[in-house]
Amino acid sequence: MQDARPVRFLDRRTPPHIVTLVLMAGLSALAMNIFLPSLPQMTEFFDTEYRLMQLSVAVYLAVNAVLQILIGPLSDKLGRRPVILIGITLFCFATLGCVLATDVWIFLAFRMSQAVIVTAMVLSRAVVRDMVPGDQAASMIGYVTMGMSVVPMIGPAIGGLLDEVFGWQANFWLLFLLGVLLFFLVWYDLGETAQKSGLSLGRQFREYPELLKSQRFWGYALACAFASGAFFSYLGGAPFVGSQVFGLEPAQLGLYFGAPAVGYFLGNFISGKFSVRVGVNRMVLVGSVLLTLGIGASILVFAAGYDSPVTFFGFMCFVGLGNGMTIPNATAGMLSVRPRLAGTASGLGGAIMIGGGAALSALAGTLLKPGTGAWPLLFLMFATSAAAVLAILFVIRRERQLLGVDAP
């Protein structure tokens, strides 16, 4: 539906303010990466191996993916608001568990539970689609994620600084405080935006085959998954590259680590500005091509012997730029394939994206070993970004077949 009512901040009788949607998505992003500069210190604290500690990223993403399969139908049935509030509450309890954990397995269990905050990110997109249609949704999602991109830009830098001053637990105390504040913000500002489905939950889940049979849905979902896969590979491998290959301290690593977010901010601005005019498919194609070219250029620079923290992390801006153009538009495309199943499509598409990201994050952590340098990570990122280009080309070809025309 398209909601034309005026927006009043902290009044849930009107549509939610864009600030609320940005912060909902932003906390999920922050929970994913704020503590990454602390991974070496956390490995030492829990007296374990880096590969096991790196599972705090991969396992988080895996649970994140599973939850997204459930979130969509639940929100279509029960409404966006109650599902979001329950998710934030559970996140706060899980975060406390992370702070108090003294054993690596207990920590990983609570870290796994933290993934429930993905509810806020997934449903912030569904709320947008509830309010506005098609290309306009891509534009608004672009602006929401543009604001959200500030979070991963500064998150690792804050995390690295907090680690050096107060220890790694300070990162999770900050997440707990922000979770409590977000709960009250959503309580007062976000009313219900969806018309509740009259179908049972069982019937809701049986709607999945309708989406899975759509070739266009798969094309958009895979374009989104492969493009973001380059970023998730980066999440899994960059802490190792920064600390082990380049010898960076946590605060330094935190500053460098936010490089993709600079490009992400720009990419989302471009999406917000031009998606309606240019169209979803062209935006996804251009974004995935820029992503591939950026990683390819990084490989060439490394091959020429110019390997340094500046060159490695500098080219990661292209990862953010490509994702900033690809993800909002591919997401809008997914949600528009079957508009009545927007919540379900958001959850299923997100599960495909994050599930692939979990696998790639774990793979990056496995491939990177002493002596390998950054090469395995760069090749993995190049392969996934090239696959994103192929996926959106498939969507464009399929739409031309459906329309029966050859013109773009």
> Rounded to whole angstroms, how far apart are CA atoms 227 and 325?
10
CA distance 99 to 168: 9
CB burial of residue 168 (10 Å; 0-12, 13-18, 19+) = buried
- pTM comes to 0.73
Q: Residue 5 falls within a domain, yes or no?
A: no
Question: Which residues constitute the domain of residue 175?
Answer: 18-187+206-403
Reported as a pLDDT band with limits 50, 70 and 90, residue 408 is very low
pLDDT score, position 183? 96
Q: In CATH, what number is assigned to the domain containing residue 220?
A: 1.20.1250.20
Whether 352 is in a domain gets the answer yes
How far is Cα 247 from Cα 231, in angstroms, rounded to an integer?
22
Q: Is residue 10 part of a domain?
A: no
Residue 323 belongs to a domain: yes
Task: Please report the pLDDT score of residue 3 as a whole number.
Answer: 46
- The total number of structural domains in the chain stands at 1
Going from the C-alpha of 123 to that of each of 11, 87, 340, the distances in angstroms are 19, 11, 15
> Tens digits of per-residue pLDDT, 218-272?
999 999 999 988 988 888 788 889 988 899 888 888 888 878 878 888 888 888 7
pLDDT digits (tens, 9 = 90+) for 46-60: 988 877 887 787 788
Is residue 277 in a domain? yes
- Is residue 341, in this structure, part of any structural domain at all? yes
How far the first Cα of the chain sits from its last, in Å, is 28
Flag whether pLDDT at 276 surpasses 50: yes
CB contact set of 268 (below 8 Å; sequence gap of 6+): 142, 143, 145, 146, 148, 149, 324, 325, 328
Average pLDDT, the chain: 84
Residue 1 lies in a domain: no
Structural domain contains residue 120: yes
